[in-house]
Amino acid sequence: MKNWIEREQPGKDKLQSLKKDLKIDDFICSLLLQRQVNSLKKAQKFFRPDINLLHDPFLMKDMKKVVEKIQNSKEQRIMILGDYDVDGTTSTALLYKYFKNMDYDLLYYIPDRYDEGYGVSRKAIEYAEINKVSLIITVDCGIKAINQVDLSNSKNIDVVICDHHLPGEQIPNAFGILNPKQENCNYPFKELCGCGIAYKLITAYNSLVESSIDTSMFLDFVALATISDMMPLIDENRIMVFHGLNVLNSKPRIGLRNFLKSINGKIDESKISFSIGPRINAAGRMKTGKIIVDLLIEEDINRANTLSNDVEYLNQKRRRIEKSVFDEALTQIDNERYTNIVYGDEWNQGVLGIVASRLIERSYKPTIVLTESNDEILTGSVRSVKDYNVYKSLSDCQDNLLQYGGHKYAAGLKLKKSNFDIFKNQFESIVKDNVGRTMFTKSFYYDLLIDFSMLTIENLKIIQRMAPFGLGNKRPVFRTNNCFIDYKLKFLGKDQQIVKSIIKDKYETKLSFICFDKKSDLVGLKSPFDILYNVNLNNFSGQDTVELTIRELYIKK
């Protein structure tokens, strides 16, 4: 298969050297070397992430200045201003909970997605003024809020910005800015999320005032945000997520307990990505992100139950609306075009980004999903495919856009309704020319070609310890050729689309498998086929068994 690509394999000398140090199978040494783990010392750090190896927070530009400002504002009112997604709400909750423990007078503010949009709004500044706030601390937003910070300054309200987004050419005239990506910041790790920066702020404050508070209790917030914001799980992020997951499993917050009840087994990064994160985001998409902060800081179990039920209702509503919009959008896909640009006049703005991502799974090409903002304006979400810079293509269309922003793979835009057809054709033409008139093809990368015999319980336990998985440390994908179904298929799920059975390789080694989206290919399959898959330890009934999750298959004629 030309679109199945094996990752670069380590040299034999490096492989044998690491095997000698670690005394584990060759193929696991290969996995580690692919992740730049090439020595015993690095392996020890990788398998046992040490919280004491986090970087000194005072290496971040403006950190000392910001901490001292907060310390000197103890007798004044502070407002924490966050975004409505997982990163923004967890950041807000983290700072609120920590500084409440320090007896600060605090407010928090989450903008309304539909009324105010993303980031620092004029309405938020006015709210701070009405409530006699002296200092605003932004989290996960603010680095582009030039005019808003000037407005706040004119009202004698100082602003501290904690943001991880890329600064523009001009930065706001804030009292202090915590952002590792800003110019002249010597902080060694640049890939923190907003909540990660908020955590660095409280650890800096904690050390300066010599508090006895154990800041690691807040790492559950950082884990939720880092995973949901798809930050690379390397360096500090790996350490903080590792320990944050331990907090979630050992001592979950009251506000999260109802979410966790529905999850079988240990909370890991995939459970956050597919279960907890979407629930948190649903509130901001459907109603308001403030309900999430209320829930995350709640200490009363009855009140928390009420709030979590409200969030669950919003999540179910989001899923219904998302399915409806997705089904309608699918009917507009033209397989002959190089782009997907779909539009519905009454689609919910809160699900446009999710629908765009789902459309790419079906039709692999740059995708824009639009709906009416009002009678004259369309608003939309843009998602791209690997190695295609959709932001650059939008900038080439800016004459037909009212507003756009984002980055290489994801963006948002606004345009006049009357310009829709012109923009649609212009964007299509630009993408088509940029890719040399060759249609996009999705590639699938795998780590190693192996036989099933290598997948022992002992080896699987080592692979499990390579978690948390995510960007920068992807869950291993294996390839095995010439497989056969060895048992009748079992169908599960609401629509009976999930397939379970037994599979064997050419050496007759048999393993269980599950597959979520290849039912039509598997039913009645007799000929040998190759597979790409992840592998897990299934602990059903207290007994460990190896189970494959089939991602792709190639049927041999």
Asked if residue 53 lies in contact with residue 239, where contact means CB atoms within 8 angstroms, the answer is: yes
The mean pLDDT value for 53-59 works out to: 98
Kindly report the three-state secondary structure assignment for every residue of 131-157.
Answer: CCCCEEEEECCCCCCHHHHHHHHHCCC
CA distance 325 to 315: 15
Contacts of 211 (CB under 8 A, 6+ apart): 102, 205
Predicted pLDDT of residue 338: 96
**What is the identity of the amino acid at 419?**
N
pLDDT 10s digits, 231-242: 999 999 999 999
Comparing C-alpha atoms, which of 159, 158, 237 is closest to residue 194? 237
**In which order are the strands placed within the sheet that holds 340-344?**
340-344, 367-372, 377-383, 410-416, 403-406
The number of beta carbons lying within 10 Å of the beta carbon of residue 157 is: 20
pLDDT 10s digits, 503-552: 999 999 999 999 999 999 999 888 899 999 999 998 777 788 999 999 99
**What is the identity of the amino acid at 309?**
N
What is the DSSP code (8-state) at residue 274? Answer: I
CA distance 160 to 227: 25
CA distance 270 to 128: 38
The dihedral through the CA atoms of 129, 132, 134, 138 has a sign that is negative
* Cis? peptide before 366, omega within 30° of 0: no
Give the global pTM. Answer: 0.92
Predicted pLDDT of residue 377: 94
Backbone dihedral region for residue 127 (phi beyond 0: left; psi -120 to 50: alpha; all else: beta): alpha
Q: Which of 43-47, 209-213, 262-266, 370-374 has the lowest mean pLDDT?
A: 262-266
Domains 57-311 and 444-555 share a fold: no
Q: Which of 73-82, 112-121, 249-258, 480-489 has the lowest mean pLDDT?
A: 112-121
Structure tokens that stand for 251 in this block: 């001592």
**What is the identity of the amino acid at 233?**
L
Q: Is the pLDDT of residue 285 over 90?
A: no
Beta bridge mates, 534? 549
Q: Is the pLDDT of residue 295 over 70?
A: yes
Give 119's pLDDT tier (boundaries 50, 70, 90).
confident
Predicted pLDDT of residue 434: 92
pLDDT 10s digits, 390-446: 989 999 999 999 988 877 888 889 999 999 999 999 999 999 999 887 889 999 999
Comparing C-alpha atoms, which of 233, 227, 239, 240 is closest to residue 280? 227
List C-alpha distances in Å: 225 to 125, 139, 182.
25, 12, 21
Contacts of 337 (CB under 8 A, 6+ apart): 365, 428
Structure tokens that stand for 247 in this block: 């907090």
Asked if residue 159 lies in contact with residue 172, where contact means CB atoms within 8 angstroms, the answer is: yes
CA distance 341 to 393: 14
In a 10 Å sphere around its CB, with 0-12 CB exposed, 13-18 middle and 19+ buried, how is residue 118 labelled?
A: middle
Q: Is the pLDDT of residue 359 over 80?
A: yes
Residue % of the chain over a pLDDT of 70: 100
Asked if residue 477 lies in contact with residue 534, where contact means CB atoms within 8 angstroms, the answer is: yes
Name the 3-class secondary structure at 369: strand
Give 30's pLDDT tier (boundaries 50, 70, 90).
very high
pLDDT 10s digits, 132-164: 999 999 999 999 899 999 999 999 999 999 999
Task: Enumerate the domain spans of the chain.
Answer: 57-311, 332-434, 444-555
Predicted pLDDT of residue 527: 86
The number of beta carbons lying within 10 Å of the beta carbon of residue 402 is: 15
Give 1's pLDDT tier (boundaries 50, 70, 90).
low
Q: Which of 71-75, 201-205, 284-288 has the lowest mean pLDDT?
A: 284-288
Predicted pLDDT of residue 176: 98
Predicted pLDDT of residue 375: 84
Fold (CATH) for 332-434: Diaminopimelate Epimerase; Chain A, domain 1 (3.10.310)
CA distance 28 to 189: 27
CATH number of 444-555: 2.40.50.460
Asked if residue 366 lies in contact with residue 388, where contact means CB atoms within 8 angstroms, the answer is: yes
CATH number of 57-311: 3.90.1640.30
Mean pLDDT score across all residues of the chain: 94
pLDDT 10s digits, 367-393: 999 999 888 999 999 999 988 999 899
Comparing C-alpha atoms, which of 295, 329, 343 is closest to residue 315? 295
